[in-house]
Structure 1
Amino acid sequence: MKGETLLAVDGLTVSLHGSDGAASSILRDVSFDLREGETLGIVGESGSGKSLLALAIMGLLPTTATPDGRITFEQQNLLTLSDDEMCHVRGNRIGMIFQEPATALNPAMTIGDQVAEGLVWHRRMSWRAARAEALRLLDRVRIPDAHRRAGTYPHEMSGGQRQRVGIAIALALEPALLIADEPTTALDVTVQAEILDVLDELVRDQGMALIFVSHDLGVVANTCERMIVMYAGRIMEEGATRAVLADPANPYTRSLLHAVPRRLERGQRLATIPGAAPHLTHLPRGCAFSDRCPEREVRCREVDPPWISLPEGRGSRCIHDPSRETSR
């Protein structure tokens, strides 16, 4: 059984301010909860706002972006914290594995020192004690010959090894929440499986909550208990992962599942979603998915789709759903 609510995102909207002073909403009315020890997947095409949501939770939005709403973590609204206060949350209580380890790691610091740095800063450990703990962490994330590797630099390691280092850094302080932003995107299938195995083992052993950002439905299906489907900066569907994948309520989720690569007959074409996702600063009127949706009607281009609450904690954003009960 999962614990109390750890993270509550309520009505989060992020506005991007252009050089001309005009503002565009690039995240719109995002709301969801995450309990202690729960695993949540966030899926969607590139440009849907997944990574932007992760950065908003971490307080790492660009200076041209302004968040509104609430992000309540451990009973405090992160959006009201000062930079210094947020520094004590970031890394310490919320860890993050970034999408590209080659750019996330410091090229001028050894691997061992990068893992040890957070322990020195937040735990006030001596460098000697922190480096000893860093060796233990590198060994735990299955870095071969960790003692020797601790003295090397990021460019001397493979992509899979760099991602393991990123996991070690994120987990060094045993945060209550870990955000993994597409941690396996640039890795081959074999290394991806190894990384997911390491991540699953560590999250399970330490009992932390996990937000797993990905465009890969298969990975989310094997990693997360619940999932959120995002498109054009909004949540289109949410619910238990197995239920959503077995019986998707939203046309966008159905389109994503239809486009998953599968075994084809000779000459048969791979299914795709026509067109491209709209830019977050130039969204169409009505439902943002309407131009690409196989189930669209004329009113889909005119009416902003409501959020529909469904049984068993599920929900969908679409005007077509006949089983809607209440709107939010």
Structure 2
Amino acid sequence: MSETGTPLLRIRDLQIAIRTGAGHSVPVVSDMAFDLAAGETLGIVGESGSGKSLLSLAIMGLLPAVAVPAGEIALEGENLLRAGEDRLCQIRGRRIGMIFQEPLTALNPAMTVGDQIAEGLVWHGGLSWTQARGQAVRLLDQVRIPDARARAKTYPHEMSGGQRQRVGIAIALAQKPALMIADEPTTALDVTVQAEVLDILDDLTREYEMALILVSHDLGVIARMCERTVVMYAGRRMEEGPTRDVLTAPANPYTRALLSAMPRRVTDADRLATIPGNVPGFGDLPQGCVFCDRCPERFEACSKHEPAWMVRDGRGQRCLKAEGMGAER
């Protein structure tokens, strides 16, 4: 929280619908809400198709034209859903930075990586190109790219996946935003490079005292990096709380199913646990609880009644079996 008690980021009753034509729309994110304090780290985890990336794009104001958001996404008290594009352009980079999932497609293939880092410093930071290029070299050095001055003159296709992701981090860090969003920043990297990238991200967000939202399907990454975790499924938050509590004593059946499916050392006789079925399409959600068709703990009422979001002792979850939990006020 800030000195005034206002969170850096406040999300309330966020809904995102996709227009399908003829005046119809399909809800893809529903009833999303959380606060993020300055300097706090928040993990958002769930299977592919859970709505994690759409949530990130909504915060950045980068949703596709067919997506219609409603509710509140307030950065330092300003509702970004009411901001025009000119205002959002002022906020992106300066106040919110984003590291995209696939740096090869996020980076411009026709510009050197140094100029791509420098560009935002010229347009938003008021630096000359000479000053900005010098700062770009320093940023490349900060993200541990060797021979940074020479590498600043290279193009994205001339770099490895890990190096490109470090360039993405440098671009997002260039203007020292208050909030960093990292959307699956290590998905395509091998485990050694993944660890190096996470170390860099952890060190630099601490150095710059930035809040971090880390989007991932990897619970190990979330456990390493985040103080608090939101678990998403089919566009809904299923559980939220301190990361240690969520991962060691999960309250929601979906979180327990995710944890049981984590890869671990097994013998030839063991089988990797899986969650049966697939995440439902947003136009084909089951009645009642969205997870009921796949839930090993379901009972008859689960297919008839959608559970409300319930909170107790700083832990939130959405499940009909959450007896004794108090409704969120």
* Residue 236 of structure 2 is aligned to residue 234 of structure 1: yes
- Name the residue aligned to 2:37: 35
Helix, strand or coil: the match of 1:18?
Answer: strand
- Name the residue aligned to 2:317: 316
- Name the residue aligned to 1:267: 269
Matches within 5 A, 1:1-328: 4=5, 5-311=7-313, 313-327=314-328
1:92 & 1:208 partners in 2: Cα distance?
12
The AA in structure 2 aligned to 1:166 is: G
2:323 & 2:306 partners in 1: Cα distance?
16
Q: Write the deviation string for residues 139-179 of structure 1: whole angstroms up to 9, x where unpaired.
A: 00001111111011000000000000000000000000000
1:234 & 1:114 partners in 2: Cα distance?
36
1:326 & 1:80 partners in 2: Cα distance?
29
Helix, strand or coil: the match of 2:64?
Answer: coil
Q: Alpha-carbon deviation of 1:2?
A: 8.0
Helix, strand or coil: the match of 2:8?
Answer: strand
The AA in structure 2 aligned to 1:266 is: D
Helix, strand or coil: the match of 1:31?
Answer: strand
The AA in structure 1 aligned to 2:325 is: R
Q: Alpha-carbon deviation of 1:220?
A: 0.4
1:39 & 1:141 partners in 2: Cα distance?
19
Percent sequence identity over matched residues?
63
On the 8 A contact 2:51/2:235 being kept in 1, the answer is yes
**TM-score, L = length of structure 1:** 0.98
2:254 & 2:164 partners in 1: Cα distance?
34
1:177 & 1:280 partners in 2: Cα distance?
29
1:191 & 1:21 partners in 2: Cα distance?
47
1:253 & 1:207 partners in 2: Cα distance?
30
Q: Alpha-carbon deviation of 1:265?
A: 2.4
Q: Write the deviation string for residues 67-97 of structure 1: whole angstroms up to 9, x where unpaired.
A: 0000010110000000000000011100000
The AA in structure 1 aligned to 2:77 is: Q
On the 8 A contact 1:2/1:37 being kept in 2, the answer is no
1:191 & 1:306 partners in 2: Cα distance?
41
Gaps (5+ residues) in structure 2?
none
Q: Alpha-carbon deviation of 1:20?
A: 3.2
Gaps (5+ residues) in structure 1?
none
Q: Write the deviation string for residues 174-233 of structure 1: whole angstroms up to 9, x where unpaired.
A: 000000000000000000000000000000111000000000001100100000000000
Q: Are residues 243 and 46 of structure 1, via their aligned partners in 2, closer, same or farther at CA, if it must alter by over 3 Å? A: same
Q: Alpha-carbon deviation of 1:267?
A: 1.5
Q: Alpha-carbon deviation of 1:24?
A: 0.7
On the 8 A contact 1:2/1:38 being kept in 2, the answer is no
Q: Alpha-carbon deviation of 1:294?
A: 0.3
Helix, strand or coil: the match of 2:285?
Answer: coil
2:272 & 2:2 partners in 1: Cα distance?
39
Helix, strand or coil: the match of 2:214?
Answer: strand
* Count of matched residue pairs: 327
On the 8 A contact 2:183/2:214 being kept in 1, the answer is yes
1:87 & 1:51 partners in 2: Cα distance?
20
Helix, strand or coil: the match of 2:21?
Answer: coil
On the 8 A contact 2:2/2:8 being kept in 1, the answer is no
Q: Please tell me the root mean square deviation across aligned C-alpha atoms, in Å.
A: 1.1
Helix, strand or coil: the match of 1:324?
Answer: coil
Q: Which runs of 4+ in 1 moved over 6 A?
A: none
2:308 & 2:167 partners in 1: Cα distance?
42
2:218 & 2:320 partners in 1: Cα distance?
27
Q: Alpha-carbon deviation of 1:282?
A: 2.1
1:106 & 1:61 partners in 2: Cα distance?
20
The AA in structure 2 aligned to 1:314 is: R
On the 8 A contact 1:57/1:71 being kept in 2, the answer is yes
